[in-house]
Amino acid sequence: MSAASTNSLFGMGNPLLDICAVVDKDFLDKYSLKPNDQILAEAKHKELFEELVKKFKVEYYAGGATQNSIKIAQWMIQEPHKVGTFFGCIGKDKFGEILKQKAEEVHVDAHYYEQDEEPTGTCAACITGDNRSLVANLAAANCYKKDKHLDLEENWKLVEKAKVYYIAGFFLTVSLESILKVAKHASENNKLFCMNLSAPFICQFFKDNLMQVMPYVDVLFGNETEAAAFAKEQDFDTKDIKEIVRKAQALPKDNKKRQRVVVITQGKDETVMAQSDKIETFPVVKTDPKYIVDTNGAGDAFVGGFLSELVQEQPLDQCVKAAHYAANVIIQRAGCSFPEKPDFK
């Protein structure tokens, strides 16, 4: 049994059913997709989902960035079950039932707000080589309501039970007030609130929302492209990753008892972390390219591995080690899936 207790890790975000397929460059070009990107679906992408299912061999996985990370953290921890709690909004439909079933299978304590105005959200993961282009159609995920779910007494009790909180930046497009309520609770009770930059468009177009939450962020995650977009929007005037993490760490913070930790991944290159007064780098686990199946979910798995050790109060270098291990497992499998048990030491 791990040192983590039930419901000690809390996540809230967009539950999506991932529709994954290996596609060709023509398909990306047709819908003007970059090989490695994350975007929200627009009207012009309506046919994309239908064409993907018709034209390519698709696989379905329970997805959504935050849900993936909570799932991976639970898998790393194994016992007890339901260390991870997850909140998000789904539709009353077949895809919603699949998400509920998948959460149960991996022992995550998912409490969905179910509504019937919008169908369960989906995300097209278009794979080419070791790149993945994600197009999210939020649908129901966009309907999460603080007053209809988060504020309910039985749900808020689960929030209070947690010690570590994680919300991906993607949720900033859905319910800023829900994020702020959880973030302030964490800050006031000296608990750990973690967030992810998630995508360049979050740093660019949802910058105001992001910066309203930033004072409460104890651990900030991101990858090199998101970090560059963030630095540009914040006028950091540098493209150097180490400088960017230092400047992100120095942004104003509400809870002065903890200094912010900033963790930036760079694909196969080293991970950079700012903690207290030092900046450290950690090489990733080397993988022969021929074993890489797809990189969809690698970033989510990194965070999941990190959180699995963080919630057990392990030192930060151990958190990074677990993060690298989890990401390495995920890229050798389709979707954000994993073997029955981890062999992480």
Catalytic residues: 300
* Residues 269 and 284 sit within 8 Å (Cβ to Cβ): yes
Q: Residue 82 region, left (φ>0) first, then alpha (ψ -120 to 50), else beta?
A: left
Task: Convert 123-145 to b/e letters by CB count within 10 Å (16 or more is b).
Answer: bbbbbbebebbbbbbbbbbbbbe
d(CA 164, CA 7) in angstroms, rounded, equals: 10
CB 273 within 8 A of CB 221: no
Q: How many helices (DSSP H) and strands (DSSP E) are in the chain?
A: 12, 14
Q: How far is CA 127 from CA 30, 241, 263, 268, in A?
A: 15, 27, 26, 18
DSSP 8-state secondary structure symbol assigned to residue 44: G
98, burial (CB in 10 Å: exposed 0-12, middle 13-18, buried 19+): middle
CA-to-CA distance for 91 and 237, rounded, in angstroms? 44
